[in-house]
Chain A
Amino acid sequence: MQTARDLKGYKKEIQGALENDFLRSAMDKFAVAYPASRARAFAGIDVPSLVAEIAAIKDANLARLDELLAEFTRHAEACGVKVHLAEDAEAANRIIAEIAHAGGAHRIVKSKSMTAEETLLNHHLEAEGLEVVETDLGEWIIQLRHEGPSHMVMPAIHLSRHQVADLFSEVTRTRQDAEIERLVKVSRRELRARYVEADMGITGANFAIADTGAIGITTNEGNARLVATLPRIHVALMGIDKLVSTLTDALRINRALPRNATGQKITSYVTWITGPVACAAGPEGRKEMHIVFLDNGRRALARDPIFAQVLRCVRCGACANVCPVYRMVGGHQYGHIYIGAIGLILTYFFHGRDKARNLVQNCINCGACKAVCAAGIDLPHLIKEIHTRIQDETGHPLQSSMLAKVLANRGLFHRLLRAARVAQKPITGGTPYLRHLPMIFSKEQNFRVLPAIAEVPFRDRWPVLRPRVERPRWRVALFSGCVQDFVHPEQLEAGLKSMEGLGVRVEFPMGQSCCGLPAQMMGEKEAARRVAIQNMAAMATERCDYIVTLCASCASHLTHGYPKLFTEGTEEKRLAQAFSAKVISFSRFLSEVVKIGPEHFGPAVGVKTTYHAPCHLCRGLEEHEAPKALIKAAGMDFAPAAEEETCCGFGGTYSSKFPTISAQILELKLADIERTGAAVLVTECPGCVMQLRGGAKRAGMPLKVLHLAEALAEARAPADK
C-alpha cells in the first residue's frame, strides 16, 4: 500500500525494499524461473493470435457492458440469485455487510478476490462486528500479518517459510517448524474448522457469463469450492469487467489466464456455478446466493477512448512477473493494492491520484509487461499517459517543464549541450568520462561512470564525413538522436564506416533534434509532440527510402511513439504514419535490406562476444535476431548471455530518477554478462552502451562494451586497428 507523501518518501521505502535480502533473492529466483515455465505451458499454442483474440473478446464485451449486465441479471435472477450493482467500493462493502446482517451471519469464510482487496472489504466487515477468515493460504498469511498482497496471484511471495512458521506458531500456540509441506497442512487443518462454523462464504469470480447467468472461478487450493459449498449463504463479488457474453469467451480467456499467471496449463479447479446450488445447510436445501458487481469507475473507464483497454486485464499478474523494477522492489512498493504495471494504472483509477503519483514515475519503459500481457494492453504507454495526466492536473515539476522547454527548442538545446561541454572540462580531466560527478548529481548516481560530452558533435563532423556515393542502391536519412550526436559521435562514424562501399547514400538532415522520448518519459506530452513535428519536417521523408537510426530507443519512439502522439484523422497523424513506416534500425537495415554477410568482412577474429538486447529493439521493434546474425557474420565468436532480453537498468531519465534501482538492475545484468566469459559485449543502443560501459568500468571488469556499429566497423576494416 502506498503511504508515502512524496517522491522522497517513496524513494525511502524503495530503499528499504532493496535492502531486503530475502525479498531480493525470492524475486530473482522467480524472475528467472517464470519465463521458462510460461513457455512450457504455452507450447504448441499460437500466443500472439490468442492474445489478439482475447483483446477482441474483451473489447467487444466492454463496449456493451450495460447490456451484458442486464442479460446476466435477468438469467441469474430467474435462477433465484439476488444481483447487486455497487457504485463504488463503499457501496459494495455496505451491500455485503447488509447481506450478512439480514441473513443472521456472523462468521464468514472468504476465498481470494482482488476485488475485495480493492474495496478493503475485510476492514469494513470487521468494523461491522463480523468475523472474516481468508482461506487461500497466501491471503490467510497476509491477513494474519495485517498486510496487503504483494502479488495478485501470489499474495505472500515476499515472505519466507520462517516468517510463515513464526506466524503459524502464534496462531496454533504451538511451535511449528519451517517446513513448507507441513505449514501447508497446518493451514489445511486450521482452516477446515472455519468452513464448518461459517454462515456465509464470499468468493470472487473470474467470469460472469451473460447468456446463462453463470459464474466461473479458477483456483488451485480448493478453498473457493468449499467457501462456495459449505456455508448457507454465498456472495460472489466481482468487477463488472468480468462480464463476458458466452461460455466460449470464458474458455478462450482461460486458455491464457493460468498459463500466463503461473505457467500452469490449467488451474487445479475451474468451477462453473449457475444460481443457488443444493445446500443442506440452506433454507429449503438451497443456498442463498448474491452476486455483487462493482463499478467503482469501470463503466466510465469502458467509455474512455485511451484507457478502456485497461479493463481487458484478466488479473494474471504476468506484468509483475517480468517487470525488472518489480523484481527489485517487490509488490508493496510497486502498486497500492493492484500490483505491477497494470497496478500502477489501476491505482490511479480505483484509488486516486495521490496513491498513484509516485508509482507511475517508477516505470523504466522496457516494454516487458506489454510483451507478456494476456490481453495485449499497451501498459507502458498507458503508464506514461497517466503520468502526463497527473502532471496536467497538479502542475508540472520545475525540472520537468524546463526540460520540456529546452527539448522543444532545438537551437537552445544544442547551445546548452555545447556550453556543457566547456563547463565539464574541470571534471573530465581530459578523459572521455566525467571523472567526478558535478554537483547536480547525487552520490547515488555514482554506480556507473558517465561519459563526457564529445569534443566535436557529429553534426559538426558531418561535412567532412559525408560519404560520396555515385550510384546509390539505397537513399538513407540518418537519425542520430541527441546522445549519439553529442556524446557518442564515434558510434555514428562507425556506422558510416560499416556501410562503406555497399551502395548506401547517407544524408544527415541538420534540422533534426532529440527524438522527444525523454520529454514523453517525464510526462511532457506537448513538448514530445512539438519535437516530433520538427523532426518529421527536418527528415524530409519523401527524399529517402529509409530513416536509419543507431539508437534503439529513438527507433522505437519514432516508429510507435510518433503516430500515438497525434489524434486520428489529423494531417500530423498521417505524416507520422508515413514517417514511421520508413524508420528502420541499423541492424535490420544491414541484415535485411543491404543483406551484409561474411563476405563483407575481413578474416574472422574469433573474439568471444556476447550481446545485450536493448528493450526498445527486441520488444519495441520486435527485432530479436539481426544484431546476433551480424555479430556472427562479422566473424566474432558469439556466446549468448542469460536473460539477454532483460533491461540493463538505463531507461533514459529513469536511471537518474531512481539511481539505486537502476544500479541493482545493472548489477544483475553485468553478472549475466560475466558468466559468458566474453571479452566483448555488443549492444545496439547508445543508452545501453552508456550504462553497461560505465557499470563495467566502475566494477573494474575487463570488458569491452561496443555499439554494434563499432564492432562491425572494426571487423570490416581490421587493418585500421
Chain B
Amino acid sequence: MPSRETLVTEFTARAEEVSAVVSTVASIDAALDHVVDLCAGKEACQWLLAGCEAPLSAPAENLCATAAAAKVLAAPGLAEDLRDRLAQRCRANGIHLVEGSLRQRLGGIDIGLTFADAGIAETGTLVIDSSDEETRLATMISEVHVAILPAGKIVATADDLAVPLGQALARPGNFTAFITGASRTADIERVLAIGVHGPLALHILILED
C-alpha cells in the first residue's frame, strides 16, 4: 500500500497532466476562502473565450440572457454549518450563493462546488456520488467546477474502489461519476480543446488531515 504522500503526489501529477488545477488546503475554512477568492477573481459568465458578445443563433442568445448579472456560486448539499460559513463569505464578496434549482440556471453558473468521495491516483480521477440532481448539475453546467477531496480518500487504482463502488452501483437511482480533468474534445482536426459541454476548468482542493 503506497503512503498517503505518494498517493497525493501521484494524484496531483496525473490530474495536472489533464489540465486540472490542483491545490492543497490545510482546513475546510481555507478551502472555502479559496473558492470564494476564485469566484471573486473570475469574470462573470464567460461562455466564449471571446466573451458573450460573439454572435450566435437566437435560442442560444436567449439562454445566455438568463444568466444572472452577479457572479453565481452553486454549492448544493452542504451541511448546514458549512453552508453558513460559505454564505457569510459570499455575502462579503457580492457573490450569489445558490443551493438548488440549478435547472433554472442552465444559462450559466460561475462556480460549482462539490465534495469528492474518493480520488484515484493512477489517473488523477475524482469519484463523486452524483445521485442528487443538484450535485450532478453543479459538476456539469458550471464554468469552473471546484471539488474538495480529503487527502485520505485517495486510493491507488480504480480496482481499490471495487467494493464501495460495487455497493454504490447496487443502489437504485445511483449516479456515480468519475471525473478526470475538465471536459475536452479533439473532434476538430484532432486539436485538443478544453471546455466543451461540461466545465471549462476543474479545480481540485486536496484537503489535508
Which chain B residue lies CB-closest to A34? B190
Partner of B195, one of A188, A262, A266, A274: A188
B187 CB to closest chain A CB (Å) equals 4
Q: Are B47 and A159 in contact (CB under 8 A)?
A: no
Partner of A214, one of B48, B107, B162, B174: B174
**In whole angstroms, what is the CA distance A26 to B191 when docked?**
11
Residues of B within 8 A of A173 (CB): 57
Known: A225-B136, A274-B174. A189 touches B47 (CB 8 A): yes
**In whole angstroms, what is the CA distance A212 to B171 when docked?**
8
Known: A266-B178, A274-B174. A193 touches B60 (CB 8 A): yes
CB contacts between A and B, total, < 8 Å: 222
Is A130's beta carbon under 8 Å from chain B?
no
**In whole angstroms, what is the CA distance A187 to B54 when docked?**
13
Partner of B184, one of A159, A220, A246: A220
Proximity bits, A259-271, B CB within 8 Å = 1, else 0:
0001011111111
Give the most central of B14, B172, B180, B181: most A CB within 10 Å.
B172
Proximity bits, B158-173, A CB within 8 Å = 1, else 0:
1100100110111111
Which chain A residue lies CB-closest to B102? A280
Question: How big is the B interface, by class?
Answer: 35 or more
Which chain A residue lies CB-closest to B66? A196
Give the most central of B63, B189, B193: most A CB within 10 Å.
B189
Is A157's beta carbon under 8 Å from chain B?
yes
B56 CB to closest chain A CB (Å) equals 5
Q: Are B183 and A279 in contact (CB under 8 A)?
A: no
Residues of B within 8 A of A626 (CB): none
Known: A174-B56, A186-B56. A278 touches B173 (CB 8 A): yes
Q: Are B133 and A229 in contact (CB under 8 A)?
A: yes
Is B18's beta carbon under 8 Å from chain A?
yes
Residues of B within 8 A of A226 (CB): 140-141, 197-198
Interface of chain B: mostly helix, strand, loop or mixed: loop
Is B132's beta carbon under 8 Å from chain A?
yes
Is B177's beta carbon under 8 Å from chain A?
yes
Q: Are A262 and B186 in contact (CB under 8 A)?
A: yes
Known: A229-B140, A274-B173. A265 touches B14 (CB 8 A): yes
Which chain B residue lies CB-closest to A267? B180
Q: Are A182 and B49 in contact (CB under 8 A)?
A: yes
Is A711's beta carbon under 8 Å from chain B?
no
Is B106's beta carbon under 8 Å from chain A?
yes
**In whole angstroms, what is the CA distance A118 to B101 when docked?**
38
- The stretch of A135-143, A421-429, A447-455 in contact with B is A135-143
Residues of A within 8 A of B125 (CB): 266, 270
Known: A137-B185, A248-B162. A280 touches B180 (CB 8 A): no
Q: Are A222 and B199 in contact (CB under 8 A)?
A: yes
- Considering only residues 166-186 of chain A, those with a C-beta below 8 Å from chain B are 171-174, 180-186
Q: Are B183 and A221 in contact (CB under 8 A)?
A: yes
A19 CB to closest chain B CB (Å) equals 20
B174 CB to closest chain A CB (Å) equals 4
A350 CB to closest chain B CB (Å) equals 24
Is B24's beta carbon under 8 Å from chain A?
no
Which chain B residue lies CB-closest to A252? B159
Residues of A within 8 A of B103 (CB): 230, 280-281
Q: Are B195 and A185 in contact (CB under 8 A)?
A: yes
**In whole angstroms, what is the CA distance A402 to B197 when docked?**
58
A sample of 25 cross-chain residue pairs with beta-carbon separation below 8 angstroms, ordered by A number, consists of A33-B190, A137-B185, A137-B187, A154-B186, A155-B187, A160-B189, A172-B57, A183-B188, A184-B196, A189-B47, A189-B64, A190-B60, A193-B60, A209-B169, A212-B169, A212-B170, A221-B184, A221-B185, A221-B198, A229-B133, A229-B140, A246-B166, A254-B158, A272-B177, A274-B169
Which A residues form the contact surface with B (CB < 8 A)?
Answer: 26, 29-30, 33, 78-80, 135-138, 141, 154-157, 159-161, 164, 171-174, 180-193, 195-197, 209, 212, 214, 220-223, 225-226, 229-230, 246-248, 251, 254-255, 262, 264-281, 286
Q: List the 8 shortest-distance A-B pairs measured between CB atoms, nearest first.
A: A222-B198, A138-B187, A222-B183, A174-B55, A270-B178, A79-B172, A221-B196, A274-B174
For the complex with contacts A180-B193, A223-B197, A230-B103, 10 further pairs of A-B residues with Cβ separation under 8 Å are A137-B187, A138-B187, A159-B189, A184-B193, A186-B48, A195-B106, A226-B140, A247-B166, A254-B158, A271-B176
